[in-house]
Structure 1
Amino acid sequence: MENLSVPFDRRVWQESKALRDAGWDVHVICPQGTKQDREPYAEIDGVKIHRYPLKAATGGPRGYLFEYSAAVWHTFRLARKIGPVDVVHACNPPDLLFLVARWLKRGGAKFIFDQHDLVPELYLSRFNRGEDFLYRAVCRLEKSTYATADVVISTNESYRQVALKRGGMDPDKVFVVRSAPAVERFHEVPEEEELRKGKPHLLCYLGVMGPQDGVDYALRALAKIRDELGRTDWHAVFMGGGDTFDQMVALSRTLGLDDLVEFTGRVSDADLLRYLSAADVCLAPDPLNPLNDVSTMNKIMEYMAMSKPIVSFDLVEARVSADEAAVYAAANDESEFAKLVVKLLDDPAERKRMGQLGRERVAGPLSWENSRRALLSAYAAALA
């Protein structure tokens, strides 16, 4: 994988441990992280992790070309070091790791493509450049990845349909393995009033901060809660980092939210539980765009695991995940988003009902146990 380090990427870490438990010898090749995940090699819980140095892209598409070229070279280098494998399991973005898979397939390996993102839609949503030369190039890379894959793992049914229709995959070779939190990791801890900074209510955002993640929509909605709805009885915490972290901090200052909004950066598991346990409402401000509408948001699943009510924009897969555990503002309507936050703040009984429904969903039909079984079925299909 290229997008995150392991075990920080929860989906890949859960998959790795599930395969380990099923008797596989699991190696992970990924970039180095920024804190405790910087070691070039580590063995954690029986999973062997090989990490390479990688500088994040800057300067638009050209920066990604340099980042991805370095990632593919390092992945080749480490794959050669590991030696022959039975299955190569590659996650995107980028849709370039099929190059490594092709080389490993020459030694008899099977290739499972774990499609975390629809890269053509990601390109359109992130860069807003239209269907230009680079868009056509990423479409060709996606097509090559599908053509190389023996089996495709999709994160939801929307992605599965893309694999069938755009990728031309055999339906028997495409499996839905939803990203689902391990519910035992998420549990409420005693509330700490000081996290609210003297306010009656706490709002929380958890996740990556990139151009398509909507933190700017959330900040503008919070400004409307203050300016248009006259409410300052809340404190908001934004947990996570990403390409636009500094820009979002600057936007918060521009909107005059310094006394109401706090940015923590990436947090430990313990701090995540502290903040989410104290939260009254959780924010999922991902705007409607070609990618977000059909993507499963990890933040929504984790809010549900913590029994928290959610305010989201009205996206297809957000409704599939949260159902009645969330309320939905019209796409990209910051004023309606603000009103729904206030409505939930004023209705503690509804917040409790929604939180209970969410927890039941991630512990039942959307549980990781169901995803684990689908993952092992995908491996059986690849080997067959």
Structure 2
Amino acid sequence: MPGALRRRRRARTSRPAHVVIIIQNLPLRLDRRVRNECSALLDAGYRVSVICPKEEPGEADRHEIDGVAVHSYQAPVGARGPLSYAREFVICWLQAARLSLRVNREAPFDVLQACNPPDTYWLLGALWKVRGRRFVFDQHDLCPEVFEARFGRRGPLYRALLWLERRTYRVADRVISPNPAYREVAEARGGVPRRRTAVVMSTPDAGRMRRGEDHPELRGTSDHLVCYVGIMGPQDGVGALLAAIDAYVHQLGRLDTRFALLGFGDSLEGLRGECSRLGLDRWVTFTGRVDHEELGRWLSSADVGVTPDPQNEFNHRSTMNKTLEYMAHEVAVVATDLRETRRCAAGAAVYVSGEDPAESARAIAELLDDPARRARMGRIGRARIETELAWALQARNYVRVFDALTATPAR
């Protein structure tokens, strides 16, 4: 056994293993998956540090959230084209590299976990592997497919994303996938052996995310509340949702419902403009970015949740966090008919093609007019979150990855 490895293992007997997690696209406080992962590691006796963008410009460079040491930096904003995205990736990579050195000086770490997007942290992982650290790739998205869904083409940038993804798969000691379909990509496209993969779904912690007190003021003067939760980019189907709301109001003549669209993204301002153009401002509310507490208020009051992501291969493979969050709050779902959504939601959702606004509008109207059916679907969804999809099962799989890498005895 090499001397360095012996020294590291001796050190682990006197201190908990230390895991550093890098996120680029969200601050830790808003990333439910990573917060759950951090909690699982802390409960298992690990020390956890997170490197991520600041939520607000005045946020302290180093602070703590639920026992996690957070090292944050000010990320560039307003990226629009390839060059500005490249600039953002380079700046964030350099900031993450700088902070990884600072974290290691503060308390030497054992494992570096990088969460995508983007697939750019394999080089940082490789550099730390030279110093004896292990590298875990927590794959949140299929970046090449996101590009194709967003821009409707492939070309040189798509091939560059495939190259970055292959480098990440190759450098990673372990690849964590959010569902079996993503693991298939890691194995087939990335050549990752099954023994180096694990599936950890982004299911809500049923103990923390559940239906709470109803807030009737969120409905305003309306009888019903329908919610959308998530990112608002060209690939997320929110434009199709506005078309369905237009059909609901102006074709079906339904003036009894408030639609709350919770989230942010590149398309938010354009969607607000389209909403006004369609004459829907009276019925549609854009909340912008919300935290977990505010999300809970809205979903505890919602009658229906919508998942309008369009049918394409990327979405067929992807688990939609919003669908799982609706289910955790016992909210019946109207969703585009996607393979992974059907696997997760089963009888908790009504499925539509996503191509006909009138079809989606009718599905929403029929659910709102049938409270007994909504309640039954809500119970089905909640039961799945508590049993088959329970976070406790996912957390066990997640911690096992780090136990194996740090030679920690199995729990």
TM-score normalised according to structure 1 size: 0.96
Q: Does 1:3 align with 2:25?
A: yes
Q: Do the aligned partners of 1:98 and 1:144 also contact (CA within 8 Å) in 2?
A: yes
Could you tell me how far apart the structure 1 residues matched to 2:293 and 2:129 are? Answer: 41
Deviation at 1:34, TM superposition (A): 3.0
SS in 1 for 2:313: coil
**Structure 1 position 79, deviation (Å):** 0.9
Query: What corresponds to 1:243 in structure 2?
Result: 266
Question: Does the CA-based 8 Å contact 1:125-1:289 persist in structure 2?
Answer: yes
Q: How far is the alpha carbon of 1:217 from its aligned partner?
A: 1.1
Q: Indicate the residue corresponding to 1:65 in structure 2.
A: 86
Q: Which one-letter code corresponds to 1:218 in the other structure?
A: L
Give the structure 2 partner of residue 355 of structure 1: 378
The 1:149/1:57 distance shift into structure 2, 3 A limit, reads farther
1:35 CA displacement: 7.4
CA apart distance, 1:212: 1.5
Matched position secondary structure for 2:389: coil
Rounded Cα–Cα distance in structure 2 between residues aligned with 1:214 and 1:39: 36
Letter in 2 for 1:102: A
Counterpart check, 1:42 vs 2:63: yes
Kept in 1, the 8 Å contact 2:307–2:322? The answer is yes
Which of residues 92, 98, 106 in structure 2 aligns to 1:77?
A: 98
User: Match of 1:321, SS?
Assistant: helix
CA distance in 2, matches of 1:101, 1:17: 23
2:13 aligned partner: none
Q: Which moved more, 1:133-142 or 1:325-334?
A: 325-334
* Contact 2:113/2:138 (<8 A) preserved: yes
Distance 2:38 2:65 in 1: 11
1:340 aligns with 2:363: yes
Residues of 2 paired with 1:232 and 1:64: CA distance?
41
1:378 aligned residue: 401
Aligned ranges for residues 280-291 of structure 1 at < 5 Å?
A: 280-291=303-314
2:231 aligns with one of 208, 211, 224: 208
Q: Which moved more, 1:269-278 or 1:232-241?
A: 269-278
Displacement after TM superposition at 1:229 (Å):
1.6
2:214 alignment counterpart? 191
Q: CA deviation at 1:57?
A: 4.5
- Work out the CA distance in 2 between the residues paired with 1:60 and 1:179: 30
Helix, strand or coil at the partner of 2:64: strand
* Aligned with residue 137 of structure 1, among 157, 160, 172: 160
- What SS does structure 2 have at the residue aligned with 1:198? coil
> What is the match of residue 131 of structure 2?
107
User: Does the residue aligned with 2:312 lie in a helix, a strand or coil?
Assistant: coil
**233, 236, 243: which one aligns with 1:220:** 243
Range with greater deviation from structure 2 (256-265 or 236-245): 236-245
The one-character-per-residue Cα deviations of 1:205-233 (angstroms, maximum 9, x if unpaired) are: 11221221111111110001112222111
The answer on 1:150 being equivalent to 2:173 is yes
Output the CA distance in 1 between the equivalents of 2:86 and 2:313: 22
Query: Is structure 2 residue 342 aligned with structure 1 residue 319?
Result: yes
CA gap of 1:381–1:333, structure 2 versus 1, over 3 A, is farther
Q: What residue number does 2:51 align with? A: 29
Deviation for aligned residue 1:20: 1.5
- In 2, Cα distance between equivalents of 1:18 and 1:99: 27
Distance 2:366 2:57 in 1: 39
Identity %: 43
Q: 1:269 to 1:82 in 2, by over 3 A?
A: closer
C-alpha deviation, 1:182, in angstroms: 1.4
| Uncovered stretches (5+) of structure 2, i.e. residues with no partner | 1-22
Deviation track 1:30-60 (CA, whole Å, cap 9, x = no partner) reads 1111378x32111222211111110134222
Letter in 1 for 2:257: W
Distance, in Å, in 2 between the alignment partners of 1:276 and 1:57 is 29
Structure 1 partner of 2:14: none
32, 41, 50: which one pairs with 1:19?
A: 41
SS at match of 2:198: strand
CA contact (8 A) 1:122 1:290 kept: no
Structure-2 change in CA distance of 1:222 and 1:35 (3 Å) = farther
The alignment partner of 2:30 has SS state of: coil
Bigger mean CA offset, 67-76 vs 284-293:
284-293
| TM-score, normalised via structure 2 length | 0.90
Match of 2:183 among 160, 170, 173: 160
Query: Deviations along 1:54-103, whole A, 9 cap, x unmatched?
Result: 01342222221011011111111111112242111111111100111011
Measure how far apart 1:311 and its partner are.
0.4
Query: In the alignment, residue 49 of structure 2 is paired with which amino acid?
Result: H
- Deviation larger for 195-204 or 319-328: 195-204
For the aligned residues, what is the CA RMSD? 1.5
Residues 57 and 133 of structure 1: CA distance in aligned 2, closer, same or farther (over 3 Å): farther
Report if aligned partners of 1:325, 1:358 keep a CA contact under 8 Å in 2: yes
CA distance in 2, matches of 1:311, 1:369: 27
Report the Cα distance in structure 1 between the residues aligned to 2:394 and 2:91, rounded to whole angstroms: 32
Tell me if 1:124 matches 2:148. Answer: yes
Determine which structure has more spread, i.e. the larger CA radius of gyration.
Answer: 2
Distance 1:44 1:192, change over 3 A: closer
How many residue pairs get aligned? The number is 382
- The aligned runs of 1:236-275 (5 Å cut-off) are 236-275=259-298
Q: 1:346 to 1:127 in 2, by over 3 A?
A: same
Which string of whole-angstrom CA distances, capped at 9 and with x for unpartnered residues, describes residues 221-267 of structure 1?
00011122221111111111222211111111011001111111122
Q: Which whole-Å CA distance do the structure 2 matches of 1:73 and 1:336 have between them?
A: 48
Q: 1:379 to 1:205 in 2, by over 3 A?
A: same
